[in-house]
Chain A
Amino acid sequence: MSSATALPPRGMLRIATDATLDKLLSGRGIWPAVPAIVVLAAVAVIPFGILLSLGFSDIAVERGAIISQTFTLDYVRTALADPLTFTVFQRSMVLALSTMLLCLFFGYPVAYLFLIGGPWVRRLILVLTIAPLLTSGIVRTYAWLVILGGRGLVNNTLIEIGLIERPLRIINTHWAVLIGMAQIHLPVMILPLIAVMSRHDRRLDEASANLGASRLGTLVNVILPLSVPGIGTGAALVFTISYTTFVVPQLLGGGNYLNAATMIYEQVVYSLEWSKGSVSSMILMATCLVVLVFIALITNHFTRWTKGREA
C-alpha cells in the first residue's frame, strides 16, 4: 500500500487495519461480493437443485416439512402423459406469444414516436412507460376488472349507445386475459425499444431521406433493422413474464382458467402435490428456455450491420 505511507504516522495497528480494509473493500478482489454469492447460492442455486430433485422423488410432507424422499420417475411420466399438462402449457404458450405480438404492435410505434419526438415528447413517453412499472400488478389488473366488468366502462358505454341490451360477459374469458396482459406488459416491451432508439444515429435517417427514401421507407429499411436487438430483448422479456404470470390469469380468467402459473400454485398451495408442482415448474422453465433460445436465434438472424457491437 504505497498510498498508506503518505498518510500522517499513526499506530501500527491502525495502519494494519486500514491496509486490511483496503484489501478487503477496494473492489479489486472478490471479497466484497462473497456475502452476495453465499446468499444467492443458499436462496437460489441450491433451492433450484432441490426443486429439480423433488420432481424425481416421492416425498412425504408433514406439517410443512419434507420428512422422506425416494427416487421415482412416476411424476415426470404422469405429467408428460397427462393431457391437462399439454392443454395448460399450450394455452400459456399461445397466450404469451400473442401478448408478445400485441405488445410489439403497440410498443414499436411508441418507440418510433420517441425517436422522432422532441424532448417533451420523450419525457412524456418515459413517464407514461415507467410509472406503470412502479405500480402494483394487482392494481393494474384490477383496473381491467373495472373496465371490462359486467357494470364496467365498456359494457355501460355499449348499453348507453344502444349497441347491446345486456352486459357482455368479457371478464373470465381468454380475451380478457389477453387484453389485460398485453396492456400490463406493454411498458416492458417499450423500455428496451426506447433504449435502442436513444442510441440511434439520426444522421442515418437524413442520409436515407437525401437518397430519396420516404419516411416509411427509412423506417422499414434503416430504423427497423437497426432496432432488431431491442425488439429481441423486449420480446424475450414480455414472453417470459407473460408465460409465467400469475395475477392476470387468476383475476381476469376466473376460477377455472388455468395457465402454467395458476396450475403450479394450485398444485403447491392447495393440493400440496409438491412433486407434481416441481415437475410443472421444470416444464415451465424448459419450455420457456426453448422459446427464449428461438427468439435469440431469430434476433441474431435479423440483426444487421451492428453484429457483435451491440448486445
Chain B
Amino acid sequence: MTPRRQLADTLAIGAILAVAVVALILLVAPSIVVVIISFDTRAYVSFPPVGFTLDWYAKVFEETALVEAMLNSLQVGITVTGLCILLGVPTALVCVRGRFPGTTALSVFVLVPHMVPGIVLGVAVLFAGALVGVGPSIYLQSLSIAVFVLAVMVRTVMSRLQRLDPALEEASANLGASPFQTLATVTFPLLLPAILAGAVFTFVEGFDNLSVAIFTHGFRDRPLPVELLALVQTTNTPLVAAVSGVQIVLAIVALVIVAATIGLDRVNE
C-alpha cells in the first residue's frame, strides 16, 4: 500500500471508530444526566444542578399515587412472569422436542403476538374484552402483556434447550429414570438459568410496558408507566428524575441477573 492510501485508510477507519465511541456515549449519557438531575435542590429541571439533596427520593415514597402505581406494576410484573413461565417453558419444550409435524409452525405462532405492535395488541384486547363484557383491569393488563412477551421466554428457553448436551439426558434414561423423572431432575435444573433470564425480561416488560397497558389497565389500578407518563406531562420538578433513578437501579439489578444467568452475549438468541 502506498503511504497515501494507508493514511486514507487509517483516517476512514478512525472516523468509523469515532462514530462508534460517540454512539456508545449516547447510549448511556441521557440516563446519567437524569440521575444527576435527581439530586438537584431546585424545584425545576435544569442542567447542570446547583446542589445535592436526597429529598426527591424521599418525596417519591411519600406520594401515595406513585407508591400505589409501583405496587401495581410490581404485581403486574410478577403475574406476567408467572404466566410466562407456566405457559412458556412447556411450549419451548414442545417446540424443541416435539415429535409431530408442526413444531416449526408452533414456534412461529408463539412469536406472532410479539411481532404485532404493542398498541395494536392493546386495542384488540380492549375491544375483544368489551365484546364479551370484560373491562380493563389489572388482570386484563397482566394477561395481555404476558401474551405480548411470551415469545421472549419461549425463545430464551428454546435456545438453551437446543444447546443442552443430549448425553446428560441419555445417561439419565439409561440409569432407569422415566422421561418425566429426567425432565424434573436433569433437564429442568439445566434450564433454570434460561428460565431466570427469561423471567427478568418478562418482569421488566410487565413492570415497564406502556403500549399494551394504556389500553388495558384498570382505571383505579394505574400502573407505574401510565402514572409516570401523566407525571412527566404535568410536573416540572426533579421528582420524575428521582422515580427514573429508582427505575435505573432496578434496570442495573436486572442486568446483573441476566449477566450471571445466561451471560450478556446470549441475550441475542
- A residues neighboring B (CB under 8 Å): 1, 3-4, 6-7, 18-19, 21-22, 25-33, 35-37, 39-40, 43-48, 50-51, 54, 61, 64-66, 105-107, 109-110, 112-113, 122-132, 134-147, 149, 151-153, 156, 183, 186-187, 190-192, 194-195, 198, 212, 214-217, 219, 240-241, 243-247, 250-251, 261, 264-265, 268-269, 274, 277-278, 281, 284-285, 288
* Closest residue of B by beta carbon distance from A61: B130
B130 engages A66 (CB within 8 Å): yes
B251 engages A30 (CB within 8 Å): no
* Closest residue of A by beta carbon distance from B84: A36
Q: A134-B204, A192-B268, A198-B265 given as contacts; is B116 within 8 A of A44 (CB)? A: yes
A18 engages B180 (CB within 8 Å): yes
**Interface residues of B: mostly helix, strand, loop or mixed?**
helix
In the assembled complex, the Cα of A66 lies from the Cα of B130 at a distance in Å of 6
Residues of A within 8 A of B167 (CB): none
B24 engages A125 (CB within 8 Å): yes
Residue-wise, chain B 91-128 has the 8 Å CB interface mask toward A (1 for contact) of: 10111111110100010011011011111110111111
In the assembled complex, the Cα of A43 lies from the Cα of B176 at a distance in Å of 41
A269 engages B214 (CB within 8 Å): yes
* Closest residue of A by beta carbon distance from B16: A109
Q: A65-B130, A156-B46, A216-B12 given as contacts; is B109 within 8 A of A136 (CB)? A: no
Known: A36-B90, A215-B9, A281-B123. 4 other contacts (CB 8 A): A22-B178, A36-B110, A135-B251, A151-B45
B31 engages A152 (CB within 8 Å): no
**Interface residues of A: mostly helix, strand, loop or mixed?**
helix
Q: Interface centre among B94, B102, B147, B264, by most A CB within 10 Å?
A: B94
In the assembled complex, the Cα of A130 lies from the Cα of B109 at a distance in Å of 26
Residues of A within 8 A of B258 (CB): 130, 134
In the assembled complex, the Cα of A299 lies from the Cα of B231 at a distance in Å of 42
Residues of A within 8 A of B136 (CB): 64
Residues of B within 8 A of A3 (CB): 173, 176-179
Q: A3-B177, A64-B130, A151-B46 given as contacts; is B118 within 8 A of A51 (CB)? A: no
* Closest residue of A by beta carbon distance from B12: A216
